[in-house]
Amino acid sequence: MRRFLVLPFVATVLLAMVGPSFAQAKPGTMPEAAATPTKPAHVRQLVGSIVSVDAQAKTVVVQRTAKGKSQEYTFAADKDAAAALAQLKPGERVRVSYIEENGRMTAEKITDVGHAAKK
């Protein structure tokens, strides 16, 4: 009978000791896991015509026309896309695979799509 009384008492004491270890962080501080978002960047694509290329600054400006409106987009080229900048010429149609982070668009891949007829 004594064994049945001791077991709940020991379990209660152990839980009382473990409980404080689950306390929250101090107010005003964020745990490291919450401080750095881990949302993966979504790769997007844009097809348009080259307006200008700056190989030294590693940037490319692409113009896209959609629903009768023309809009220019400036992309910074990462190391893989920067290699393609030397072959690009204004007026060429290209597909730019890019990611957008903090308002900055970074081209990951730039491929020539030729002068295909619009549908």
- What is the CATH topology of the domain spanning 44-112? OB fold (Dihydrolipoamide Acetyltransferase, E2P) (2.40.50)
What are the extents of the domains in the chain? 44-112
C-alpha to C-alpha distances, 81 to 48, 55, 111, nearest whole angstrom: 16, 11, 9
Q: Quickly count: other Cβ atoms within 10 Å of residue 62's Cβ.
A: 27
| Tens digit of each residue's pLDDT, the chain (119 residues) | 566 666 666 667 666 666 655 555 555 555 555 555 556 678 999 999 999 999 899 999 999 998 899 999 999 998 888 888 888 899 999 999 999 988 899 999 999 887 654 54
φ, ψ of residue 86 to 5 degrees: the values are -65, -30
Total residue count of the chain as it appears in this document: 119
Q: Give 54's DSSP letter.
A: E
CA distance 68 to 88: 25
Task: Please give the pLDDT value at position 26.
Answer: 59
Q: What is the model's pTM?
A: 0.61
